Amino acid sequence: RAKVQGQEEEKKGLSKEIDRLRADVSEKEGKMKGLVSDLEAVRGDLENKKGREKKMEEKISKLDKSISDLLEEQKENAAKMQSLDGQVESYKSEIEALGIEKAKQDKIAVEMVEKVKDLEERVNAKSSRVNDLEAKLSILQGEESLAKDRLVDSEQEVKE
């Protein structure tokens, strides 16, 4: 009996140990389920972050392309502006040359107008001189005519 009682005591002790181990396993299973749940949540977050990261990378890639396109366009515009600046300078030079040529032509025109005025004045002076000479000639012709008449008269008187 003592042996049976010892076995029962041992059985009770083992049963308690088994219950304690079961409780310990159950506690560890609960903790493990919590850890698995946490792990699944972390995996979900990681997948979400990877998705957002991929979208951000796509946006960054699009922005890089846009920036690259804008830089290329800016280079083209700068080249166009440089070309236009060159054309403007060329036009300025042409306008300046035309201005100088026009000034020369204006100067020549002024000189020609002055020469024409001078020639007109000389012609007018010569015309006046011719008129004066014609008037004197007319007077002299009148005097010659009178002198001839007198000569004829004198010759007539001498004949008579």
pLDDT digits (tens, 9 = 90+) for 77-123: 899 999 989 999 998 898 888 888 888 999 999 999 999 999 999 99
pTM across the whole model:
0.41
* CA dist., res. 3 & res. 111, Å (int): 155
Q: What is the pLDDT of residue 149?
A: 85
Quickly state the pLDDT bin for 1 (edges 50, 70, 90): low
Between these two residues, 5 and 141, which has the higher pLDDT value? Answer: 141
Question: What is the secondary structure of the chain as a DSSP string?
Answer: -HHHHHHHHHHHHHHHHHHHHHHHHHHHHHHHHHHHHHHHHHHHHHHHHHHHHHHHHHHHHHHHHHHHHHHHHHHHHHHHHHHHHHHHHHHHHHHHHHHHHHHHHHHHHHHHHHHHHHHHHHHHHHHHHHHHHHHHHHHHHHHHHHHHHHHHHHHHHHH-
Residues 5-43 have pLDDT tens digits of 777 888 888 889 899 999 999 999 999 999 999 999 999
